Structure 1
């Protein structure tokens, strides 16, 4: 198994029970989650030596977040204490034609206020082979963007593989620099890039020719898009793009494609008809792809595993994908019935 570090923010997620409206209920359920933390948990569950690097406040909320990751076997020994608060987000699960929605309350969080030099990357990356980051942390503040760029440069200096999940969030890019200006500089240091068609358009400034609201996606467009990304960023060894055809908040068709330096691959397609929780499915894909690329001989196997891992995450409440390799491989091999195992 591989030694993988992730760097990014974790937040407290507050949601109403089931599919109620945000303030329809008199109570909110609390869990922790965040793109890179979600990946770290999934990789730990899959058997890797997984390390999460971040900045959290030295208060009971920050310590609870750290304990939650440690519970799943994630190494939290290089989490820096700083700032006054942990970010919060409110998540309302959609149903039928009512879309899910997220409201952020994360300004002034520990990682948003952290600056270059606050983390000892030499120590944080000791014994690590891989760094995974996303486009969420660079979006929250100019200083967090600088810290993310510092992280990927430090990883490259140690000859680590670097993966970037673009994760464009329109609500977060508020501090004055456009997303492509920031993300293109970060992606120049990456080996693996993941995202969806909107990420490529909004985070990299590349025209994708895809209408995401129609619910139908043309695979040929994704073949062209991945080729365009690799031409634009010749440092990349692989580009993976997820494909979500959204018929309703409850029903999606889910797949992904991958381009490497040898050609273009299409993954399996899943019709998901009873979504439990969409949040974290992209992170499950990223973790599954990292696991596949470090565990299997062929990129096609890695892609199949990643798509199946993310399909399974749609059935799990909360941010984390807790599916094991055995469970994911069963889906890869065709077990999609959901029948009880006795």
Structure 2
């Protein structure tokens, strides 16, 4: 397993480019989706959240490839992306048909959990503009060759959106590798995306085809089993045991089958309740395992986006040439901070991440 060889920043327009759908998140706050009378609006999407985190927290030049409908809701989404500092240069704008019969912006209703009540996500994203992207819609050689991208990120959520998005990913990662761009992929298995199009069997077929083009593979304790077919021995059905020993055996098996993986990272989460989790992570790189600080009893305000913030922190560490141990701890600390605030995306600063990494307490910072 060789180390990462990134293109020089001086010859690239962007440090990070993400491919995926960006949705409008409708958040009922402290209330419930089915009883609330108001929603707060955010933007979010598994792949986009990584680019935004690298821009807002870590100061990297970030862009996103997606499609959006050209109507007021699509322009609301654009405005939210502007606020996150991510370039919209590569967004494909699709004409509106008048009522959303053919194309629309995807919606994601997300209810925070508390105590014994688990968080709930309810997606309303069929026929979205992003799900209808097809091969040849994007000029990847112009993006990776003419403009230059240091790191490309995408994931299993976009792969499961439609029959065409997985082909877009394969087209993109092939072009990225042709131009020397590092490719990362977050498995991000969502049963709701796959259950009507072949279930886990189809998810594994698609993700395994993509995996052979990936340098940095990321997932949680469920993803590697559901999306790639690697079993974690000794793990109960609720994924509540955080002993990393068996995860390490699974990672070794994954690297043996996919020797192109230069790094493999997994987050470890035990949800004691919706509002108290144990949170950790493991990175395998250069033939060695590196464990992040295990945060037992981490208090959770909004868990959505924690894994994406882990990914952006990890990528920042690797991009900056930090040691693998430092990189996995940047990821774990950033993910922990992201779950203390509402919304899918980070509000943390680099200074806050590094403060948490050093083990500083939560005393008032005056």
Report the TM-score, using the length of structure 1 for normalisation. 0.96
Mapped to 1, the partners of 2:274 and 2:317 lie a distance apart of 29
1:293 aligns with 2:318: yes
Mapped to 1, the partners of 2:298 and 2:160 lie a distance apart of 32
Aligned partners of 2:29 and 2:111 also within 8 Å: no
Shift of 1:218: 2.1
Give the secondary-structure state (helix, strand or coil) at the position aligned to 1:163: strand
Give the secondary-structure state (helix, strand or coil) at the position aligned to 1:55: strand
Match of 1:37 in 2: 48
Aligned partners of 1:289 and 1:303 also within 8 Å: yes
Shift of 1:273: 4.2
Residues 247-306 of structure 1 show CA distances to partners (whole Å, capped at 9, x for unaligned) of 000000100001113211111011344311100000000000000001143111101111
Mapped to 1, the partners of 2:290 and 2:237 lie a distance apart of 21
Match of 1:66 in 2: 78
Shift of 1:85: 0.5
Coordinate RMSD, CA, aligned: 1.5
1:89 aligns with 2:108: yes
Give the secondary-structure state (helix, strand or coil) at the position aligned to 2:353: helix
Match of 1:139 in 2: 160
Shift of 1:178: 0.6
Mapped to 2, the partners of 1:273 and 1:71 lie a distance apart of 29
Match of 2:186 in 1: 165
Mapped to 2, the partners of 1:331 and 1:292 lie a distance apart of 15
Unaligned runs of 5+ in 2: 1-8, 95-101
Aligned partners of 2:29 and 2:112 also within 8 Å: no
Match of 2:263 among 238, 249, 258: 238
Match of 2:171 among 150, 156, 175: 150
Give the secondary-structure state (helix, strand or coil) at the position aligned to 1:79: strand
**Structure of higher RCO (CA pairs closer than 8 Å, 6+ residues apart):** 2
Give the secondary-structure state (helix, strand or coil) at the position aligned to 1:208: coil
Give the secondary-structure state (helix, strand or coil) at the position aligned to 1:216: coil
Mapped to 2, the partners of 1:206 and 1:226 lie a distance apart of 8
Match of 1:199 among 198, 201, 223: 223
- Alignment length, in residue pairs? 340
1:109 aligns with 2:128: yes
Match of 1:128 in 2: 149
- Please, which moves more after superposition, 275-284 or 111-120? 111-120
Aligned partners of 2:279 and 2:298 also within 8 Å: no
Aligned partners of 1:16 and 1:23 also within 8 Å: no
Give the secondary-structure state (helix, strand or coil) at the position aligned to 2:130: helix
Aligned partners of 1:17 and 1:28 also within 8 Å: yes
Alpha-carbon distance change, 326 to 296 in structure 1, aligned in 2, over 3 angstroms: farther
Unaligned runs of 5+ in 1: none
Mapped to 1, the partners of 2:253 and 2:189 lie a distance apart of 18
Match of 1:80 in 2: 92
Shift of 1:66: 2.0
Match of 2:98 in 1: none
1:28 aligns with 2:33: no
Give the secondary-structure state (helix, strand or coil) at the position aligned to 1:171: helix
1:175 aligns with 2:197: yes
Mapped to 1, the partners of 2:321 and 2:132 lie a distance apart of 39
Mapped to 2, the partners of 1:306 and 1:217 lie a distance apart of 17
Match of 2:340 in 1: 315
Match of 2:29 in 1: 17
Residues 218-271 of structure 1 show CA distances to partners (whole Å, capped at 9, x for unaligned) of 211111111111111110011001100110000001000011132111110113
Report the TM-score, using the length of structure 2 for normalisation. 0.90
